[in-house]
Amino acid sequence: MRPIQSIIIHQSDSTFGNVDLIDQWHRDRGWDEIGYHNVILNGKEDGLSPYDPTVDGTIEYGRAISKMGAHCRGSNRTSIGICLIGKGNSINVFTPAQLQSLKALCSSLINQFGLSWLDVHGHNEFTSQKTCPGFDVKQWALEQQDKENNSVSASEAFKEMDEAWEEFKLTIKGMFPEGGSDEV
């Protein structure tokens, strides 16, 4: 396995698409196969069919992660490329389901490759010539990190409350030994 040091987010710059279609586009450019490792669908797989909510947020697999991608000049060797289907300069061009899937996918890759949310970048961080993916991924990643930290500390707090409750029950039990005070 090649070393993975970062996750780079892209947009398809199209209002529809999927792995098969992008694979076709990239082969038309003379590439071996699709340059991205994952594609996250927005519910419109082609230009003709209506929006299909059942595929909104679907994570598709493109190039094998073990293979170097073709998505970010100078950074392909050690990165994973994820493409969101969508077009525009705002995070709002992507559906909530897509952003939810992006979060879950990044989270899982972060765990798998021992990365952190600081290793998640937008294509536009690597070149001034691209606005792709159209939003501030660094900011978005920090928000996801904060949410994760908050949910970890919340579950730790619940665990502490449980432990305190168990201790309290033991104390009460100690104060009233079984078969106790009725007899007196």
List of residues contacting Zn ion (CB under 5 A): 10, 123, 132
- Is 116 in contact with 6 (CB distance < 8 Å)? no
| Least distance to Zn ion, CB of residue 167, Å | 54
Q: Which is nearer to Zn ion, 21 or 132 (CB)?
A: 132
Measured from the CB atom, is 10 or 37 closer to Zn ion?
A: 10
Q: What angle do CA 147, 153, 157 make, to 5 degrees?
A: 140
Q: How far is the CB of 33 from Zn ion (least distance, A)?
A: 17
Rounded to a whole number of angstroms, the minimum distance from the CB of residue 56 to Zn ion is 21
Q: Which two tokens stand for residue 183?
A: 């007899």
Question: Closest approach of Cβ 111 to Zn ion, in Å?
Answer: 24
Nearer to Zn ion, 10 or 103 (CB): 10
- Give 155: exposed, middle or buried? Use CB within 10 Å, 0-12, 13-18, 19+: exposed
Between 35 and 57, name the residue whose CB sits nearer to Zn ion. Answer: 35
Kindly compute the dihedral angle of the four CA atoms of residues 37, 41, 45, 49, in this order, to the nearest 10 degrees. Answer: 180
- Tokens (6 digits) for 8: 């780079």
Residue 127 Cβ vs Zn ion, minimum distance, rounded to whole Å: 9
Distance CA 172, CA 95 (A): 53
From 80, 91, 72, select the one nearest 133 (Cα to Cα): 91
Half-sphere CA count of 141, side-chain side, radius 13 A: 19
Closer to Zn ion by Cβ: residue 44 or 123 = 123
- Compute the half-sphere exposure of residue 8: CA atoms within 13 Å on the CB side of its CA: 26
